[in-house]
Amino acid sequence: MPESKDVIFLCQYFHPEYISSATLPFDTAVALRNAGYSVGALVGYPKEYSTHQTVPMREIFQGIDIKRIKYLQLNRTNSLGRLINYLSFTLSCALQLRHICKYTTVLVYSNPPILPLIAVIGRNLFGLKIVFISYDVYPDIAYKTGKLSPHSLMAKVMTLVNNLVFRRVSRVVALSEDMKSYLVANRDIKPEQVEVIPNWYEGGHMPTGSRAQSNALFAPILGTGKLIVSYFGNLGICQDLSTILAAIRTLAHNPEIHFIFAGHGNKMHLMREIVEQERLDNVTIFDFLHGADYQDALDISDCFLVSLEQGLAGLAVPSKTYGYMMAGKPIIAVMDQCTDIARDLTENNAGISIKVGDHAALVAAITALRDSPENRRRMGANSRQLFLAKYTKEIATAKYVAMMAELID
């Protein structure tokens, strides 16, 4: 029997897809491979988040043995489509258990929420060690946002999966201290089993500004002298839109402030409809930006927005925040004040923390940044330093390597 390999990543998105749910696992896999571990990945076949026309079903890329599986990929804008996608991908992974058992340790991600069940089966059948990466805490998020009843069949299934997973994991990775506190209080897990490893942003170089000014995509916005307030990434059930939308409406007739949105999610679709219906001329919405366009968008922005629905502290951490920090601009966080992000921004004077629902405070914060270029510069510099101190790819992936060294060796 061939010798077992070290680590396999089990996740829906991976290289060459460009969303953070794909780039973060890939960065981690590369770091482990560079540390000397044999690394594989069992992942979904790319569709909407890849610029490649065709991708091989199996390849060795940067030393990682990537095996891709095809599954149903329906429209994700409705809950039924997402559910079918989740089930299809999870069942496709279940058919690959013989491949998974070639490894000693499986790193499995929390999305899709039922995917960790495959790791549990691998643990029971083959003695695999499980590292569970908690990007989102389900079904708790669905309860808090009113998307799922605790008495529903789906809730009972997800609760069962959680109980099975947390009783069998070797390690759990939480994205923040508030997420660790929540998991320890609400799951069958000991504090010493939970590692806090934040997400990160790969680009370490601040945009120079020269290229962005010639990007035709942003030509209608540039040269107006307006304060550009930007929101990038996912705008879904976890993100608060109502506070931001109320501020946009209040500032609709202010010629000195303009909002940019780019990304995906069900609330991004809602935002498009509202902007068109109400003719909000102070808002421009783009599709998902990546590569040079995203870097240019970071560059032309004067400040950034990040948000979470009220009550979601410890349940989700918006990874877009770290790209904002890298760009060296102030960040306005609309979320519970007890989150790591809100505390980071406040304690380091890297931005402004606003309570969910307080749109007047959000308007005041945006107006204050418009009126004080010096304060924007100071907060932006602090934001950049915060990124370099805590949220670079090198810092975070080194923590994964250290954790795996302890677990495997």
**Contact at 8 Å (CB) between 192 and 390?**
no
Checking DSSP bridges between strand 64-69 and strand 58-61, what pairing results, if any? antiparallel
**What token pair was written down for 4?**
């077992």
Q: pTM score, two decimals?
A: 0.91
pLDDT in 10s for each residue of the chain, 409 residues: 457 899 999 999 999 998 899 999 999 999 999 999 999 999 999 988 888 889 999 999 999 999 999 998 887 667 777 788 888 999 999 999 999 999 999 999 998 889 999 999 999 999 999 999 999 999 999 999 998 899 898 888 889 989 999 999 999 999 999 999 999 999 999 999 999 999 999 865 565 555 567 788 888 888 778 999 999 999 999 999 999 999 999 999 999 999 999 998 889 999 999 999 999 999 999 998 888 899 999 999 999 999 999 999 999 999 999 999 999 999 999 999 999 999 999 999 999 999 999 999 999 999 999 999 999 999 999 999 999 999 999 999 999 999 999 998 7
User: Could you tell me the domains of the chain?
Assistant: 5-200+392-408 (3.40.50.2000), 212-390 (3.40.50.2000)
Q: How many whole angstroms separate alpha carbon 321 and alpha carbon 262?
A: 14
Tokens 């366009």 appear where? 293
DSSP states of 227-290: EEEEEEEE-STTS--HHHHHHHHHTTT-TTEEEEEEEESHHHHHHHHHHHHHT-TTEEEES---
Unique residue bearing structure tokens 């013989």: 98
Are 227 and 257 in contact by the 8 Å Cβ rule? The answer is yes
* Distance in angstroms (rounded) separating the CA atoms of residues 107 and 119: 8
Nearest Cα to Cα of residue 323 among 348, 294, 346, 343: 294
Q: Provide the 3-class DSSP secondary structure of residue 194.
A: strand
Hunting for tokens 């308007």 — which residue is that?
363
